[in-house]
């Protein structure tokens, strides 16, 4: 069961990061959305922490599937299905007791595919995808270069944050923000921001 523990730490780190940045996420969402992204994400990852406390999943994948299932049932709006589906897809790709760097890259790709299948978003639409896509690319590049998990996770976190910031000048083409048209320009996307928080939490708890 030792291999599963880092994933538990990841969930706790994500929950802590979301809690710390709940007001920021809500502020960002109030400008171009329903002003509930911070509250919804906080509720979801708090529920994940509770769901995993005392549980004994047999694989890393099982932890992620449970995380995704909990998010789907506890997070309101589009974020629950999008993030929940991504975690479930990652979990199914990691149905193993260990999660090496290359295997984890494949799982991240499965997560992004799930998000894009459900949300039909592509890079440039001002969504989660704008942070997730460069994060995946950076993780893969580091893995292909022989970097360890910590190096790949750090590269992914940096790329996610760069992608997050790049959403500010974009005009939203998907989701609630798209209804604003040109008025969505000049606002950082809340979904890209929460995605960057998740990748940074992964980096900070990566085994070294």
* pLDDT-derived band at 15, boundaries 50, 70, 90: very high
Instruction: Give per-residue pLDDT as tens, 61-81.
Output: 999 999 999 999 999 788 999
| Mean pLDDT of the region 99-127 | 94
**Domains of the chain listed by start with CATH number:** 2-204 (1.25.40.340)
pLDDT at 201 over 90: yes
pLDDT at 4 over 70: no
pLDDT at 157 over 90: yes
Please name which of 88, 12, 78 lies closest in space to residue 40, comparing C-alpha atoms: 78
Question: What values do phi and psi take at 205, rounded to 5?
Answer: -110, 5
Burial zone of 54 (CB within 10 Å; 0-12 exposed, 13-18 middle, 19+ buried): exposed
Please name which of 9, 63, 70 lies closest in space to residue 40, comparing C-alpha atoms: 70
pLDDT for res 98: 67
- Residue 179 sits at the vertex; the CA angle it makes with 174 and 183, to the nearest 5 degrees, is 105
Instruction: Give per-residue pLDDT as tens, 129-140.
Output: 999 999 999 999
pLDDT for res 55: 79
Please state, in angstroms and rounded to a whole number, the distance separating the CA atoms of residues 43 and 141: 34
| Mean pLDDT of the region 33-44 | 94
């Amino acid at each position: 069961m030792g291999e599963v523990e880092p994933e538990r730490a990841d969930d706790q780190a994500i929950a802590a990061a979301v809690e710390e940045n709940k007001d920021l996420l809500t502020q960002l969402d109030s400008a171009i959305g329903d002003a509930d992204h911070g509250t919804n994400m906080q509720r979801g990852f708090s529920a994940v922490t509770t769901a995993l406390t005392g549980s004994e999943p047999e694989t890393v994948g099982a932890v992620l599937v449970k995380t995704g299932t909990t998010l789907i049932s506890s997070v309101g709006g589009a974020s629950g299905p999008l993030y929940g589906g991504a975690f479930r897809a990652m979990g199914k790709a990691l149905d193993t007791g260990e999660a090496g760097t290359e295997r984890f890259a494949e799982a991240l790709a499965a997560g992004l595919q799930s998000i894009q299948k459900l949300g039909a978003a592509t890079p440039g639409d001002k969504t989660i995808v704008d942070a997730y896509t460069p994060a995946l690319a950076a993780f893969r590049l580091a893995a292909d270069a022989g970097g360890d998990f910590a190096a790949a996770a750090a590269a992914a976190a940096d790329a996610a944050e760069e992608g997050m910031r790049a959403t500010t000048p974009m005009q939203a083409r998907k989701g609630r923000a798209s209804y604003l048209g040109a008025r969505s320009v000049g606002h950082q996307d809340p979904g890209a921001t929460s995605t960057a928080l998740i990748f940074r939490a992964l980096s900070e708890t990566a085994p070294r």
